[in-house]
Amino acid sequence: MFKILEKQVFSPIIKLFVIDAPKVAKSCQAGQFIILRIHEEGERIPLTIADFDREKGTITIVFQEVGKTTKQLGAMEAGDYIKDFVGPLGEPTHIEDVDTVVCVGGGVGVAPVHPIARAFKEAGKHVIGIMGARNQELMFWEDKMRAACSELLVTTDDGSYVRKGFVTDVLKEVIESKGKDNIPLVVAIGPQPMMRAVCNMTKDYGIKTIVSLNALMVDGTGMCGCCRVSVGDETKFVCVDGPDFDGHQVNWAELSLRSAYFKAEEQKALERHECKCGCGGGK
Amino acid sequence: MAEQKAKKKIVPNKNPMPTQDALERARNFNEVALGYSEETVIAEAQRCLQCKNEPCRQGCPVEVDIPAFIKLAAEGDFDGAIKKIKEKNALPAVCGRVCPQENQCEKYCTLAKKHEAVGIGRIERFCADRELQKGVTLPEVAPPTGKKVAVVGSGPSGLTCASDLAKLGHEVTIFEALHVAGGVLMYGIPEFRLPKAVVQAEVENLKKLGVKIEVNSVVGKFTTVDQLMDEAGFDAVFIGTGAGLPYFMKIPGENACGVYSANEFLTRTNLMKAYQFPEWDTPIKIGKKVAVLGGGNVAMDGARTALRLGAEESWIVYRRSHDELPARKEEAEHAEEEGVKFAFLTSPVEILSNDEGWVTGMKCIKYELGEPDASGRRRPVPIEGSEFVMDVDTVVVAIGQGPNPLVPRTTKGLELNKKGNIVANLETGATSKPGVFAGGDVVTGAATVILAMGAGRTAAKSIHEYLTNK
């Protein structure tokens, strides 16, 4: 059992937990993920590591409530226990030898991009951070991102905070103002449409772009093959070959279809969970 | 004495195994074979001729003293029989169910030359189940040696290796990647062939021997084999991580929605209990017409599971003929009885899907059998122009698995072969790395539960020698 040591509520749907998981904290690196299962009947869900503290033996996760499991997780409190928590899984982000990197975090993707930005900065790189959210309410970790980056640009889709626009708009301005030759690498993490839009844009400039994919997954150790994704001409497993991939090589259309695989079942589980008729769905 | 033996009346046929009605069981996940009664097991055990040369024993990878336990069972001494079995076999309730007995012990049974072999597996299963019900007596454990062994993977080879080492007085810790111990016995083999409660009962027995089991522990990620030995103080490591990497056909359309690896299909169902969705949270989606690619036990498990999940039609698509099916005869028969259909001499070349990414059909080609190949089986040769489209909406790929790469990739100095399997001496389990032993599917490629157990036992013996001389 893994104890929730701390909970922060960033918005009604975005929450942070600090979990007591010394084994994971000891060896994890930026870009890796964990799989958790809340209770005996629960599903195994992957979440990217947002932060870690090796001394305290803790892992920080930030997640958005989407389906039944994330809603159930969001309802848990500090002091509660999560049944299973395994990691670190996946390959760490490769901290490339570039002078400058732009780290783009969209929505809840700000959390996983944070340790990557920090790792690049610790390696002596100039890190330009771009973070965006739909609106001010969904914005979090501006302070942490500011600390992890050399410079930080913030935007909201609706203009309710700082400026109006998508992260792609800001990224385009950065590339245009600095010159594309001075931006050798972009790391983008966020919802699939956002990562896809970033990649479409950077491809035109010829700027290498790394994305972190969050595919459907069961075991997370290469065993089930559920998380496969077409990258270039090859089928890769997100869990062991990724989660980072060259975004220009990813078959986004296929990934988007595969991600929607269990949409109807997820909806059913959610409705049952939220049903107050006493059918047991609230468990 | 000789005179008495000559008089022994030969009973030609095995006592039939009571099973759930085929059509009824094809729609539930309860165990198919119901097990012998006490009367039947005694009758079956009395069929044994107690041959002096004990041919059956050569067919047992873990060297169970088969004639001795059958004699005890024939006398109704089931306590004695299970004790005898457990001298060599740590998982008798599992083996009694899933060992391919017809290719092992029972193949060599003297009766099998003219009649049906003694139902050795069924007798073993009865003795083991009876003991699990009435409470297990623990075997003797040697005094602590002060030596620590790490076992990576809690499948059949790891459990056997751990059990043997614990009995010899070593301190054993098993590291398991999933949230529950048992490996393929939990995620791969369906509930209707091997109830998960049986596996967990066997795992509990192991814990009673003092074996520690750390679940949620992916060796190769949170720690490495080198760290286990250099930092965590383990004197030896056994790697039994199995064949957990699914192979695909590498044909167009294989990443369409509705195409599963057998591992995913079975893991969702068995380990995550998707058949109880939405009471359990993990879903599985199944169409009306399912094609399972392959002809082994895993393929049979997939096809039978598909029916139980509600498929209207479930097909085994295999590129050779019925005679070459690698699955156990009994499994293929059970599948057929339950309504699984077979498309022999057929193999897919492309999986078709619609705009939403869903499987709409499978383009296949017909084969004929040519000359025998290196495996001794007649080589399937595609027939030109024989392409046709099979009307299916779900595809399960069960063409085999490779070694899981997480441990081999992160262990320095471990010799691997071209396929990525760990190179280990089959007589000892020793790898190229001192103190590191390996066995089971990660060494041999995908095989059977009992062969993996045999490898675990072999390795335990040499680990014991290694630790004793260290």
A82-98 per-position pLDDT tens digit: 999 999 999 999 999 99
Closest-CA residue in chain B for A266?
B283
In 3-state terms, what secondary structure has residue B226? helix
Give SS3 for A33: strand
Selected for mutation to probe chain A from B247, B281, B351, B401 (highest A CB count within 10 Å) is B281
Q: Mean pLDDT, chain B, as a whole number?
A: 93
For residue A60, give how far its alpha carbon lies from the nearest alpha carbon of chain B (Å): 16
pLDDT of residue B470: 77
Distance from CA of B80 to the nearest CA of A (A): 37
Q: Which of A41, A84, A260 sits opposite B216 (nearest CB)?
A: A84
- State whether the Cα torsion B242-A243-A255-A14 is positive or negative: positive
A24: which chain B residues are within 8 Å (Cβ-Cβ)?
Answer: 222
What percent of chain B lies above the pLDDT cut of 70? 99
Q: Which of B261, B273, B285 sits opposite A261 (nearest CB)?
A: B285
Measure Cα distances from B232 to B150, B172, B229 in Å: 10, 13, 6
Name the class of domain B22-134.
mainly alpha
Is A229 part of the contact surface with chain B (CB cutoff 8 Å)? yes
Q: How confident is the model at residue B4 (pLDDT cuts 50, 70, 90)?
A: low
Query: Which residue on chain B is closest to A272 by alpha carbon?
Result: B278
Beta strands in A54-212 (DSSP E): 58-64, 81-82, 84-89, 100-106, 126-133, 151-156, 185-189, 208-212
The third-level CATH classification (topology) of the domain covering A2-89 is Elongation Factor Tu (Ef-tu); domain 3 (2.40.30)
Q: How many CB atoms lie within 10 A of CB A184?
A: 15
> Is B264 within 8 Å of A224 when comparing Cβ atoms?
yes
Residue of A nearest to B251 (CA): A235
Instruction: State the average pLDDT over residues B172-178.
Output: 97
- Is the model's pLDDT at A283 over the cut of 50? no
A199 assigned to a ligand binding site: no
CB atoms within 10 A of CB B219: 25
Across the interface, whether the CB atoms of B278 and A269 are under 8 A apart is answered yes
Element at B290 (helix H, strand E)? strand B289-293
A265 vs B273, B285, B357: nearest CB = B285
Intervals of CATH 3.40.50.80 along chain A? 100-260
The nearest CA of chain A is from the CA of B226 a distance in Å of: 14
Domain boundary assignment for chain B: 22-134, 148-244+403-469, 245-397
**Chain A residues with CB-CB distance to B280 below 8 A:** 41-43
Amino acid B19: pLDDT: 93
Distance (Å) from the alpha carbon of B12 to chain A's nearest alpha carbon:
44
Cβ distance of B404 and A27 shorter than 8 Å: no
* A162 at interface of B, judged by CB pairs closer than 8 A: no
Q: Closest CB to B404: pick one of A44, A69, A221.
A: A221
Q: What is the mean pLDDT of residues A195-205?
A: 96
In this structure, of A141-145, B303-307, B403-407, the range with the lowest mean pLDDT score is B403-407
Q: Does A163 touch chain B (CB under 8 A)?
A: no
Whether residues A88 and B222 touch (CB distance < 8 A) is answered with yes
* A84 with B179: Cβ contact below 8 A: yes
Residues of A in Cβ contact (< 8 Å) with B254: 235
B412: left (phi over 0), alpha (psi -120 to 50) or beta: beta
Q: Does B261 contact A37 at a Cβ distance shorter than 8 Å?
A: no
Residues of B with Cβ-Cβ distance to A258 under 8 angstroms? 255, 257, 357
Which residues share a beta bridge with B342? B316
Question: Does residue A281 surpass a pLDDT of 50?
Answer: no
Between the CA of residue A64 and those of A70, A111, B283, B300, what are the distances in Å? 7, 11, 20, 40
Q: What is the CA radius of gyration of chain A?
A: 18
Average pLDDT over residues B438-460: 91
**Span B110-139, average pLDDT:** 92
**Phi, psi dihedrals of residue B154, rounded to the nearest 5°:** -115, 30
Chain A contact set for B221 (CB, 8 A): 27, 87-89
CA distance B69 to A32: 51
In Å, what is the CA distance from B103 to each residue of A98, A126, B56?
60, 65, 11
B375, pLDDT greater than 80: no
CA distances to B233, B347, B362, B366, B390 from B387, rounded to whole Å, are 59, 10, 10, 7, 10
Average pLDDT over residues A247-256: 96
Question: Touching check for A56 and chain B: CB below 8 Å?
Answer: no
Nearest to B257 among A41, A69, A257 (CB): A257
Compute the radius of gyration of chain B from its Cα atoms: 23
Distance between B356 CA and the closest CA of chain A, angstroms: 7
Q: Residues of B with CB below 8 A from A263's CB?
A: none
Residue of B nearest to A35 (CA): B216
Q: How far is B232 from chain A (nearest CA, A)?
A: 12
Residues of B in contact with A257 (CB under 8 A): 257, 356-357
**E strand segments, chain A:** 2-9, 14-20, 33-37, 45-48, 51-53, 58-64, 81-82, 84-89, 100-106, 126-133, 151-156, 185-189, 208-212, 228-231, 234-237, 244-246
pLDDT > 70 in chain A, percent: 97
Q: With beta carbons under 8 A apart, name residues in chain B contacting A43.
A: 272, 280-283
pLDDT value for B372: 87
- Share of residues in chain B with pLDDT > 90 (%): 83
Instruction: Check whether A226 is labelled as a binding-site residue.
Output: no
For chain A, residues classed under CATH 2.40.30.10 are 2-89
Minimal C-alpha gap between B318 and chain A (Å): 21
d(CA A255, CA A250): 8
Q: Give pLDDT tens digits for B226-268.
A: 999 999 999 999 999 999 899 999 999 999 999 999 999 999 9
Q: Can B22-134 and B148-244+403-469 be said to share one CATH topology?
A: no
Q: How many CA atoms lie within 13 A of B92 on its CB side?
A: 29
User: What would the mean pLDDT of A160-168 be, rounded to a whole number?
Assistant: 94
Residue A192 annotated as part of some ligand binding site:
no
* Chain B residue nearest residue A85, CA to CA: B216
Nearest-Cα distance to chain B for A169, in Å, is 30
Q: Rounded to a whole number, what is the distance in Å from the CA of A26 to chain B's nearest CA? A: 7
**Candidate from A42, A221, A272 with C-beta closest to B177:** A221
Q: Is CATH 3.40.50.300 what the domain over A100-260 is classified as, yes or no? A: no
- The answer to whether residues B450 and B61 touch, using CB atoms and an 8 Å cutoff, is yes
Cβ pair A223:B223 closer than 8 A:
no
- Beta bridge pairs of residue B358: B257
B148-244+403-469 carries CATH number 1.10.1040.10: no
pLDDT value for A277: 59
pLDDT band at A276 (very low <50, low <70, confident <90, very high): low
Is the CB of A91 inside 8 Å of chain B's CB atoms? Answer: no
Phi and psi of A87, rounded to 5°? Answer: 170, -170
Strands A58-64 and A14-20: antiparallel
Question: What confidence tens digit (pLDDT) does each residue in B336-374 have?
Answer: 999 999 999 999 999 999 988 999 999 999 999 988 888
Q: Residue B2 pLDDT more than 60?
A: no
B244 → closest Cβ in A23, A24, A223? A223
List the single residue in B223, B245, B260 with the smallest CB-CB distance to A223: B245
> Nearest CA of chain A to the CA of B258: how many Å?
8
> Region B305-327: what's the mean pLDDT?
95
Q: Are B260 and B396 in contact (CB under 8 A)?
A: yes
Please say whether the beta carbons of A1 and A36 come within 8 A. no
Residue A273 tokens, joined:
């969970």
CATH class of B245-397: alpha beta
Q: Is A80 on the interface with B (CB under 8 A)?
A: no
Name the closest residue on chain B to residue A86, using Cα atoms: B216
pLDDT at B222 over 50: yes
- Give residue B7's pLDDT: 62
Contact A240 B215 (CB under 8 A): no
Average pLDDT, rounded, for chain A? 94
Eight-state DSSP code of residue B349: E
Interface A–B counts its CB contacts (< 8 A) at 122
Q: Is the pLDDT of residue B1 over 90?
A: no
Tell me the average pLDDT across B163-191.
96
Q: Rounded to an integer, what distance in angstroms lies between the CA atom of residue A249 and that of residue A254?
A: 12
Partner B contacted by A267 (CB < 8 A) = no
